[in-house]
Amino acid sequence: MEIKPIRTEADYQDALAAASAFFDQPPARGTPEGDRFEVLLTLLNAYESAHHAIEPPDPIEAIKFRMEQQGLTVQDLVPMIGATNRVYEVLNRTRPLTLSMMKRLRSDLQISGDVLLSQRVPAGGRGPSARRTPVSRRRAKAVPVPR
């Protein structure tokens, strides 16, 4: 197979088949086969990035997965997130993760910072991070309202 740009899914499948022959015994770098393999991998990577991109996991699902994986309870997250009720609010998506929570989760649970920073707004509405901070009634009365 000659090396050519990958424009269609059929081109992708052909390039994948050609590259798979090299996976069991990769050719030495600098050889004609090694160069061909490297170019095929570069083309495959570019096509996959554009057409088969994998989104990072949802941060809350990543936390729940790590909890399940390590046998952790809500109480185990208290040092990282705060009081028990705050942990439940985060896990139920009624409170967004703060930067300090993300730092502790990243360090203690070994969850990638990129994953924790990827909080998403749920479809059809504003997410918890888009909520306005409630203003106390006393403070609201002290602010003059323009007429």
Instruction: State how far Cα 54 lies from the chain centre.
Output: 9
Question: Of 27-31, 77-81, 111-115, which one has max mean pLDDT?
Answer: 77-81
Contact residues for 81 (Cβ-Cβ < 8 A; gap 6+): 87, 90, 97, 101, 104, 105
- Compute the Cα dihedral for 46, 50, 54, 58 and give only its sign: positive
3-state secondary structure of 140: helix
- For 36-75, the pLDDT digits (tens) are 999 999 999 999 988 988 887 899 999 999 999 999 999 9
- For 126-141, the pLDDT digits (tens) are 444 444 444 444 444 4
How far is the C-alpha of 21 from the C-alpha of 47, rounded, in Å?
19
Mean pLDDT for all residues in the chain: 83
**What's 129's DSSP letter?**
G
pLDDT bucket at 124, cuts 50 / 70 / 90: very low
pLDDT bucket at 23, cuts 50 / 70 / 90: confident
Q: Which two tokens stand for residue 57?
A: 């996991």
Per-residue pLDDT at 52: 84
How crowded is the C-beta side of 122, counted as CA atoms within 13 Å? 12
- Boundaries of CATH 1.10.260.40 in the chain? 59-122
Helix axes 74-81, 84-91, angle to 10 degrees: 100
Question: Does the domain spanning 59-122 belong to CATH 3.40.50.2000?
Answer: no
> Residue 59 class from Cβ within 10 Å (0-12 exposed, 13-18 middle, 19+ buried)?
buried
- Residue found under tokens 């910072």: 113
Within 10 angstroms of residue 47's Cβ, the number of other Cβ atoms is: 19
**What's 24's DSSP letter?**
S
Residue 95 near residue 86, CB atoms below 8 Å: yes
- For 81-117, the pLDDT digits (tens) are 999 999 999 999 999 999 999 999 999 999 998 899 8
